[in-house]
């Protein structure tokens, strides 16, 4: 790979596919060479828009392109089938999958086994690990600024389906709010505190049927830290999805979300940081700075031939 651009393909050209394609296109070490998309309408548009990018409708057609890596940005329910095909058909041994890795634990475990068998670099798109506010919070926790953590509460909220009643024709995605939005909070908790066990959980279906629209659960980490999660996509006044934590320690409290971080110490000192205070700048801003850092990290890992975090094995327990 040294001295040559990395040849990368995108599978699935929805919102996330467009975002990653835009970022990969500006990274100097990368050449976007192919896009795989099922929709005939979108393929016709792509062929007019990208003159130097091959557009196909089946993952198997990518096997002859000598790809260095594949980004899987299809809907969550198809992550497993697409990533498995990438490995089985030997399309590439380096794979990036948008979050979550798969729809359930067994699928995630099989993808981990495939990744080990074929080698290469793998990564899952939990972009909030690349947020300046959450990174700062983790640094403070590791430095024991608030002493030993005692408890935490986490939320993941959006207003995507707020105000919609059960008689509406609108239905929430079958994948459920926990896999779609709540997985970000779970991943951050694992990153902050390590593994934990679930002691109690409640799932509400606000629109009837088998929809999972609101989830609350309590956990305990291996070191004895108690935690609570509250996840819903039916909460008012969240123009954009938001994830946040309150962490109580023996010496103070940390409150952090996507945009700001507050530190309150028992001695009376108070500190507050916003994104711009934490050098939230990147080479190319598309979607959010976290996405650029995420793709940049994956590309650097390809060059270094070293698995980044979060990789398949690290996040397998999330599913």
**Cβ–Cβ under 8 Å, residues 124 and 99:** yes
Number of compact structural domains in the chain: 2
**Assigned domain for 313 exists:** yes
**Assigned domain for 209 exists:** yes
Does residue 251 share a domain with residue 240? yes
Name the pairing type of β-strands 95-98 and 214-221.
unpaired
User: Residue 209: which of 266, 255, 171, 258 has the closest Cα?
Assistant: 171
What is the domain range of residue 79? 6-126+284-318
CA dihedral over 208, 211, 215, 217, signed as positive or negative = positive
**Assigned domain for 226 exists:** yes
Integer Cα distance of 275 and 113 in angstroms: 38
Q: What is the per-residue pLDDT across 121-145, written as a single tens digit (0 to 9) for each?
A: 999 999 999 999 999 999 999 999 9
- Please report, for the domain that includes residue 170, its CATH number: 3.30.360.10
Does residue 57 share a domain with residue 79? yes
Per the listing, tokens 């929430």 go with: 172
**Cβ–Cβ under 8 Å, residues 243 and 99:** no
- Please report, for the domain that includes residue 108, its CATH number: 3.40.50.720
**Assigned domain for 206 exists:** yes
Give the global pTM.
0.94
**Cβ–Cβ under 8 Å, residues 172 and 213:** yes
Q: Give the residues across from 10 on adjacent strands.
A: 35, 71
Does residue 270 share a domain with residue 134? yes
Alpha helices in 222-288 (DSSP H): none
User: Residue 5: which of 22, 20, 26 has the closest Cα?
Assistant: 26
Does residue 40 share a domain with residue 170? no
Does residue 166 share a domain with residue 62? no
Does residue 79 share a domain with residue 151? no
Does residue 189 share a domain with residue 229? yes
**Assigned domain for 133 exists:** yes
Strand runs (DSSP E) across 91-225, as ranges? Answer: 95-98, 122-125, 149-157, 196-204, 214-221
Cis peptide before 275 (omega within 30 of 0): no
What is the rounded average pLDDT of the residues 165-182? 83
**Assigned domain for 156 exists:** yes
Q: What is the per-residue pLDDT across 194-217, written as a single tens digit (0 to 9) for each?
A: 999 999 999 988 776 677 999 999
Does residue 134 share a domain with residue 104? no
Q: What is the per-residue pLDDT across 230-270, written as a single tens digit (0 to 9) for each?
A: 999 999 999 999 999 999 999 999 999 999 999 999 999 99
Does residue 98 share a domain with residue 41? yes
68 is written with which tokens?
């260095």
**Assigned domain for 1 exists:** no
**Assigned domain for 143 exists:** yes
**Cβ–Cβ under 8 Å, residues 185 and 229:** yes
Does residue 209 share a domain with residue 185? yes
Integer Cα distance of 130 and 241 in angstroms: 16
User: Residue 32: which of 73, 83, 67 has the closest Cα?
Assistant: 67
Does residue 188 share a domain with residue 58? no
Does residue 264 share a domain with residue 219? yes
Q: What is the per-residue pLDDT across 6-57, written as a single tens digit (0 to 9) for each?
A: 999 999 999 999 999 999 999 999 999 999 999 999 999 898 888 889 999 9
User: Residue 62: which of 89, 24, 40 has the closest Cα?
Assistant: 89
């Amino acid at each position: 790979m040294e001295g040559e651009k990395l040849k990368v393909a995108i599978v699935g050209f929805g919102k996330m596919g467009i975002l990653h394609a835009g970022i990969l296109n500006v990274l100097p070490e990368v050449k976007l060479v192919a896009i795989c998309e099922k929709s005939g309408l979108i393929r016709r548009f792509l062929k007019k828009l990208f003159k130097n990018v091959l557009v196909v409708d089946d993952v198997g057609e990518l096997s002859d392109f000598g790809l260095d890596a594949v980004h899987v940005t299809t809907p969550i329910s198809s992550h497993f089938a697409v990533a498995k095909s990438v490995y089985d058909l030997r399309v590439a041994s380096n794979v990036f999958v948008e979050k979550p890795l798969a729809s359930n634990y067994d699928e995630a475990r099989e993808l981990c086994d495939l990744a080990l068998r074929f080698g290469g670099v793998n990564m899952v798109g939990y972009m909030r690990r690349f947020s300046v506010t959450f990174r700062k919070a983790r640094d403070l926790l590791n430095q024991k600024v608030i002493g030993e953590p005692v408890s935490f509460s986490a939320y993941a909220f959006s207003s995507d389906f707020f105000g919609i009643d059960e008689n509406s024709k609108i239905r929430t995605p079958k994948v459920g709010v926990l896999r779609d939005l709540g997985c970000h909070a779970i991943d951050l908790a694992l990153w902050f505190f390590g593994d934990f066990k679930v002691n109690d959980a409640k799932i509400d279906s606000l629109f009837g049927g088998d929809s999972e629209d609101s989830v609350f659960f309590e956990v305990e980490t291996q070191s004895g830290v108690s935690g609570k999660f509250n996840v819903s996509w039916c909460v008012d006044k969240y123009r954009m999805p938001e994830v946040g934590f309150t962490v109580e320690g023996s010496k103070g409290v940390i409150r952090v979300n996507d945009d700001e971080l507050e530190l309150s110490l028992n001695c009376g000192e108070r500190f507050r940081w916003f994104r711009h205070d934490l050098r939230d700048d990147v080479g190319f801003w598309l979607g959010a700075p976290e996405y650029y850092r995420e793709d940049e990290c994956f590309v650097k890992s390809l060059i270094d031939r070293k698995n980044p975090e979060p990789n398949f094995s690290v996040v397998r327990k999330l599913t």
